Structure 1
């Protein structure tokens, strides 16, 4: 307030240009004050003298937080270009911040060890600040648009999904992705244990075959621009274009299918003919179930019993036959 009063007093009877200059000076001064009030990125200001050798005196394989497995990963490889342990790296403190105060060997009675960036839920820095430490090196195509993505907007930290101090990060293994992602996406995890599902539980597919967790052009974080384009990566025969197209198919595969799992064959949302009758009126059309007594000549027919629409309309995704407007051929 004293600064504002001084500037107002100084601007009285001054030219307009002088007043504008004083206001700009005030704004810059205010920004400086705010910057000085922001908390530092780390709890300490000095780096340890021995680097990782200091850390490993406590964090060996028998400690509560073992870290030696990191040396079997790219992060602990000295030959990794621009890595934490490269010739120009700061080793552990590249990610955990300057930790000289944290590495004090002897503490006085009642003294608490100085905090450092731990990448835990309660940390000395925010999730966004932790993520910026990762993005300082990981600015690849898959993470370039992390800012503004669904996971970033929900205050997710990189370490909520990734594990660093181990040889192999589980989230990078397709066989373990369902378990990792399912910690938050519980409905999708449960759906994959339905009678019919994509082979995620066997490890033949992973969540990242369809989803791009770091960024995408859609709310579902799909690897392609739309649901259909994502499905066509494997189901190319359904792409078309067809001479006769089925509107629900070209609109969205999710109109009829549940991609994460279903108790109906072909991952359908409902059993036929009920699914089809959501759009197609059954009046005047033989779309109801019949028994063997209704078969002509008292002979059961696979096209009559069960009465699935797809028994006759086999080309339901589209047809290129000149007479296939009813998707029968």
Structure 2
């Protein structure tokens, strides 16, 4: 009798385990189409969609255990007419808010850019988005969904190595510049456009993350910050006086080659009296005849043959030169 009761209990346990693992019960408990208000939308917008709608539940926007998590209606509006369906034979009405800048596959017209961005700014208004109003992107009617893929498990805009391709969709000139010989390591995934620019708006020029170009560059290039005893004025003013940040065919992202770059400010003869080029009998020859020796200001590293610390120096030689 005792053995029979043990067999019965074992059978009941196995039956319970089988029921828990059955597809019908598992779907009811865990499938995202059953979750809260979203069940109304995901009843139609399921895995058969051309876009991965249900991938939303693999993102922070789909954490159902968090009470702050939005529902479909939080972003797209209550959309009562759309949910009710076709009542007059004219096609299903559009949702209250449609994101994007092009017609959707269903033929719906995207909502006004201000309506779209306001739906996002309801939650994402602070921090990096403080300066969105009046920014270049906002004035150009760029909407959040032009850059962000909200329903994707991994938004390319938030992946460092993928982000530049999103930006280059509009910024073609910068894409070409990053293919030059000397560039920032965007293609290597060591940095992204947002390391220098805040696409949501900035108090500085060119959507920079800091107030000035120099301040932005020094975020990474701290060794150029100083303070130095002898400072190079163009460095303090703007790094782009000498460098082109997106790419150059000259080393160190320079705008032109020394000594010509230096000559843009330091025009006129230097301490040698010999013109740039070749000079018979060495630097003091003063000519440009065949067989002459090149001027030391124009060969090798040109001006940097002597002026090594072009960003600033603490060398006491500077003080000696000022006496």
Which TM bucket (shorter chain)? Answer: 0.7 to 0.9
Query: How large is the RMSD of aligned CA atoms in angstroms?
Result: 2.8
Q: CA 1:229/1:206 → structure 2, altered by over 3 Å: closer, same or farther?
A: same
Change (3 A) 1:280 1:288: same
- Where does residue 303 of structure 2 map in the other structure? 309
- 2:112 — aligned with what? 126
Shift of 1:312: 1.3
Distance change >3 Å, CA 258–CA 326, structure 1 → 2: farther
Q: What pairs up with 1:55-204 in 2 under 5 angstroms?
A: 55-84=41-70, 91-104=71-84, 111-116=90-95, 117-121=97-101, 123=109, 125-204=111-190
Alpha-carbon separation, structure 2, partners of 1:293 and 1:61: 81
Give, in whole Å, the separation in 2 of the partners of 1:236 and 1:274: 27
Deviation at 1:303, TM superposition (A): 6.0
Q: Distance in 2 between matches of 1:203 and 1:196?
A: 16
The 3 A distance-change label for structure 1 pair 139 and 326 is farther
Q: Do the aligned partners of residues 219 and 106 (structure 1) sit closer, same or farther apart at CA in structure 2, a change above 3 Å counting?
A: same
Shift of 1:290: 4.4
Question: Any conservation in 2 of the 1:200–1:206 contact (CA below 8 Å)?
Answer: yes
CA distance in structure 2 between the partners assigned to 1:211 and 1:185 by the alignment? 13
Q: Which stretches in structure 2 are left out of the alignment for 5+ residues?
A: 1-35, 104-108, 285-290
In structure 2, C-alpha distance between the alignment counterparts of 1:280 and 1:326, rounded to whole Å: 20
Q: Is the 8 A contact 1:150 1:219 kept in 2?
A: no
- Given that 1:303 and 1:312 are in contact with CA atoms closer than 8 Å, whether structure 2 keeps it comes out as no
Alignment of 1:258-277 (within 5 A): 258-277=244-263
Task: Tell me if the contact between 2:182 and 2:248 (Cα under 8 Å) persists in the aligned partners.
Answer: yes
**Structure 1 residues 291 and 51, CA gap change in structure 2 (3 angstroms):** farther
SS at match of 2:304: helix
Cα distance between partner residues in 2 of 1:266 and 1:309: 15
Report the TM-score, using the length of structure 1 for normalisation.
0.74
Cα deviation 1:146-191 (Å, max 9, x = unaligned): 2122211222111111111111111011111111111111111211
Residue 278 (1) aligns with residue 272 (2): no
Contact 2:160 2:190 in 1 (8 A): yes
Q: Contact 1:288–1:307 (CA<8 Å) still a contact in 2? A: no
- Distance in 1, matches of 2:174 and 2:44, equals 40
List runs of 5+ in structure 1 lacking aligned partners.
Answer: 1-49, 85-90
Structure 1 position 64, deviation (Å): 2.7
Distance, in Å, in 1 between the alignment partners of 2:280 and 2:159 is 51
C-alpha distance in 1, partners of 2:54/2:66? 17
TM-score normalised by length of structure 2: 0.75
**Which of 315, 318, 324 is residue 318 of structure 2 equivalent to?**
324
